[in-house]
Amino acid sequence: MAIRHYWSMAAAAVGFRLVLVLFSRDLHLASRPEVSTPLTSLRRLADGYWLKHASMSPYSGSMYHGSPLLLSVLGPLTSKRSGGHHSHIYCSLVFVAVDFIAAMLNQLVNISAGDTASLIYLWNPWTIITCVGSCTSPIENLMVVIMLHGACSRLPPLAAFGYVMATHLSLYPAILILPICVALLLGYGPDTPPTKVFLQKGPSANKIDISDNGKSTIQKGFGQFSRKPILHFILLVFIWSCYVLLLNSVILNKVGGLQEMFEKTYGFILAVRDLSPKYWYFFAEVFDFFRSFFLIVFNMNIIFMVLPLPIRLKHRPCFLAFVYIAIIAMLKSYTSAGDLALYLGLVGLFTNELAEMQFTFILFFGYIGVSLLSPVMHNLWIWRTVLVVETVSSMIKHHRKLRLLIKA
């Protein structure tokens, strides 16, 4: 559904970001714990870049825990030689461009709600805060959106690139391989349960589809089961992974190595070594002899939650990915506003299916209240849990109504 004056509203969102970039230092968002984490802080990236140029490992000490690729891309922009106090503006301009690209890809993921989803992503307050907050979360979110776009468009090279880069930058998107493979394997596109139902009824399903407004449309080659895209995807994931490791090895040549990179990035994420201010209430009170077991349970909890979901939502791979992303935002070790911005921005893809969702009024104002009480309550789990439960329930009800409509 096209929105009038879409490009005017999109340009206004970009312009609003550019205005905030000029006053970003006065906003002091870089020091906010809900915006910048030890993994996404641009200040820490600048320290890592300085250490690398001093012929030392960027992971020396306990400052930088990000990707070496980000050092090569954003590091020169954080250098004092690039403009002193203007260096953070250059990085923010990059993040503005990244947000715009992510919004455009978000528009292409779902044709019926593309404009709505794109504008929700651009005007989401948390997305704007993340964009001007001197953190690398917008780049991580862009890789996830690229992955979803590639999978829903049945473009294995693009899906594999986004998957490898998102996993390399943040680790947790690795669990998204299941919905991505389902989307590529079944070929439903974003989400088309009517095609699935027609395939169960007969071969005419390949030519007929019923949209939400009851009109019939013609589809060709949609909903075809094929293993070729998934095999292509797995092969490309392996190739991209080798290429990323090779680039990291070149960047860290003589100033560290891949083993140190894994220890200071993935090891740092899983071990939760920095207790200020993330999850201090979990780990500060844990006895030392119990800490290892607690870490195992903490990290495995996310896997236990995502495994049963494909049983019921395998016909909705794009929505399944959205639920996974929301669960990651709840349970990852270092959550930030960027995680909140991503899944709230993606919820616009399902405006038609979630139109009858319950408790929307309570959820909307609950999120506003939690946001205003940041940083004390920005990571309050109850609102995210309720959102996941309600969206899943609404999607299942929507699917049941479609099945009844088709059977009738």
Looking at per-residue pLDDT, the higher value among 29 and 110 belongs to: 29
Separation of CA 137 from chain center: 9
Residue 382: what residue type?
Answer: I
pTM: 0.87
Q: Give the angle subtended at the CA of 127 by the CAs of 25 and 7, to the nearest 5°.
A: 105
Which pLDDT score, from 0 to 100, does residue 219 have?
40
Lowest mean pLDDT among 163-167, 370-374, 396-400: 370-374
Which pLDDT score, from 0 to 100, does residue 297 have?
86
3-class DSSP assignment, residue 213: coil
Lowest mean pLDDT among 14-23, 185-194, 229-238, 269-278: 185-194
187: left (phi over 0), alpha (psi -120 to 50) or beta: left
Euclidean distance between CA atoms 373 and 360, whole angstroms: 20
Kindly indicate the confidence band of residue 304, based on its pLDDT and cuts at 50, 70 and 90: confident
Which pLDDT score, from 0 to 100, does residue 277 have?
58
167 and 322 in contact (C-beta within 8 Å)? no
% of the chain with per-residue pLDDT over 70 = 81
Rounded average pLDDT over 41-68: 88
Domain boundaries, the chain: 6-187+225-352, 188-223
Q: Which residues contact 212 (CB under 8 A, 6 or more apart)?
A: 112, 352, 353
Mean pLDDT of the residues in the chain: 81
Residue 333's closest CA among 171, 129, 195?
Answer: 171
Euclidean distance between CA atoms 99 and 83, whole angstroms: 23
Q: Scan for tokens 């000490």, then name that residue.
A: 61
- pLDDT tens by residue, 131-159: 888 889 999 999 999 999 998 888 899 99
